[in-house]
Amino acid sequence: MSYETLKVSFKDSLCRIAFDRPDVGNAINAPMIRELGHVLEVCAGAEGQDGKPVTVVVIEGGEEVFCAGGDFEAVTENGSAGDPAPLYDLWLKLAQGPFVTVALVKGRVNAGGVGFVAASDIVIAGKTASFSLSELLFGLFPACVLPFLIARIGKQRAHYMTLMTKPVTAADALASGLVDVTADDAEAALRQHLARLRHLGRPAIARYKAYLAGCSGDPVQDRSAALEANRAVFSDPVVLAGIRRYVTDLKFPWEE
């Protein structure tokens, strides 16, 4: 398919999605949300785009701006920001989908753009990237971003970022946990990550992320779910066959 607000490419088990509204700072609008939702549905499908299940989804923006947040022009024209549910559910798909989501950030990120970053499994940022929540300057607050942001960096850091409204540097975002890796060459860092991530199987990713979504981090509270998950993976015949093959042949599951 061709898209109005995105550039999308599939190669083997990788899908790259680039925001493509450069004239408005890749601002989020209803068509973008719909198109992103469609791409992620394809990625979540059993056969992906070309018969190979997608295991890695990369979200990226432009060199100067990753995503400036919601489209204020749409708000002024319509007198309403619209229903927030589709965008929130889109971030849930990124966070919980049966693939690894990587946000590749080379420029400025603001407001709703931070939602895409916080909902991603891995965030790679160029050293000139910046992150901000400007909503309170306009009498708003990032209600839909905060659950994802708090999960990533904790409540107080998210609270401080919301109140201050000023941009956070890539280095500070790395220190807070919003970013996982910073690099002078973000594209090279992505290639290094993909070289490792491409070995992960779709069933393992889906099973792991489903477990992680319900993991509270409290060893007592999580005991039953942890034991159940452990028993399930060690009773999977495909997993056991891969382990036996490694023991006997010293070959990983993806090796011929």
Label residues 39-64 b or e (16+ Cβ within 10 Å = b): bbebbbeeebbeeebbbbbbbbbbee
Given the residues 60, 71, 121, 180, select the one marked as catalytic.
71
Asked whether the predicted pLDDT for residue 80 surpasses 80, the reply is no
Taking CA atoms, 44 is separated from 38, 97, 195, 225, 255, in Å, by 10, 7, 21, 24, 24
77 is an active site residue: no
184 catalytically annotated: no
The active-site residue, picked from 35, 60, 135, 180, is 135
| CA dihedral over 89, 95, 99, 103, signed as positive or negative | positive
pTM over 0.75? The answer is yes
Q: What is the pLDDT of residue 41?
A: 95
Across the beta sheet with 122-126, the strand order is 6-11, 14-19, 56-60, 100-105, 122-126, 181-183
Residues ≥6 apart with Cβ < 8 Å to 256: none
pLDDT of residue 51: 72
Residue 72: pLDDT band (50, 70, 90) is confident
* pLDDT number for residue 2: 86
Structural domains in the chain, CATH included, are 6-197 (3.90.226.10), 214-249 (no CATH)
Q: What is the pLDDT of residue 83?
A: 87
> Mean pLDDT, to the nearest integer, of 65-88?
79
pLDDT above 70: residue 50: no
Mean pLDDT of the region 113-134: 98
Q: Could you report the per-residue pLDDT of 162-211, keeping only the tens digit for each?
A: 999 999 999 999 999 999 999 999 999 999 999 999 999 999 999 999 99
For residue 76, pLDDT over 90 is answered with: no
Is pLDDT above 70 for 26? Answer: yes
Q: What is the pLDDT of residue 77?
A: 59
